[in-house]
């Protein structure tokens, strides 16, 4: 997967417009359009760091292209996607503080229920 595809994927998963992403990165919308169209890549390395922090992925994920996925990428990729979406909900958008608290609580409850089920199934 190329950088432009990864950027578009993460931006759309976070339900962000190109304009919103540009604002968060301190760039022009035209720059983000250029990144996503594959016309050019970020010249400054700190853009990759900003993107990795914003979307909750390893910086190297944006820097590497066309590598076959490793067997461990499946579940980790899913977890990174969920985490990225949760971070986007918490940092941007219009969620109230009580809704954020309720979501965090629900995530913890889901974790503990899954852990309990796995223990019962002998998968620990």
pLDDT of residue 77: 62
Q: Is the pLDDT of residue 54 over 90?
A: yes
Are 6 and 58 a contacting pair, CB within 8 Å? no
- How far CA 59 is from CA of 36, 40, 95, 113, in Å, comes to 17, 18, 27, 32
Q: Is the pLDDT of residue 94 over 90?
A: no
Are 33 and 26 a contacting pair, CB within 8 Å? no
Segments making up each domain of the chain, as ranges: 3-63, 73-121
Of 74, 70, 55, 76, the residue nearest 9 (C-alpha):
55
pLDDT of residue 52: 92
Mean pLDDT of 102-112: 84
Domain 3-63 falls under CATH 1.10.260.40: yes
Identify the H or E element spanning 92: none
CA dihedral 115, 117, 119, 123 (to 10 degrees): -90
CA dihedral 67, 73, 74, 78 (to 10 degrees): -110
Q: Is the pLDDT of residue 67 over 80?
A: no
Rounded Cα distance, 109 and 50, in Å: 31
Rounded Cα distance, 90 and 87, in Å: 5
Of 56, 63, 110, 58, the residue nearest 83 (C-alpha):
56
């Amino acid at each position: 997967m190329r950088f432009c595809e990864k950027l578009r994927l993460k931006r759309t998963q976070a339900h962000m417009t190109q304009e919103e992403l540009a604002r968060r990165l301190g760039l022009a919308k035209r720059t983000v359009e250029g990144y996503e169209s594959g016309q050019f890549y970020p010249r400054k390395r700190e853009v990759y760091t900003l993107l990795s922090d914003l979307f909750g992925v390893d910086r190297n994920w944006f820097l590497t292209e066309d590598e076959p996925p490793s067997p461990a990428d499946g579940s980790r990729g899913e977890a990174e996607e969920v985490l990225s979406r949760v971070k986007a909900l918490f940092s941007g958008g219009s969620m109230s503080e009580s809704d954020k608290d309720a979501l965090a609580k629900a995530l913890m409850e889901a974790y503990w229920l899954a852990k309990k089920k796995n223990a019962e199934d002998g998968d620990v």
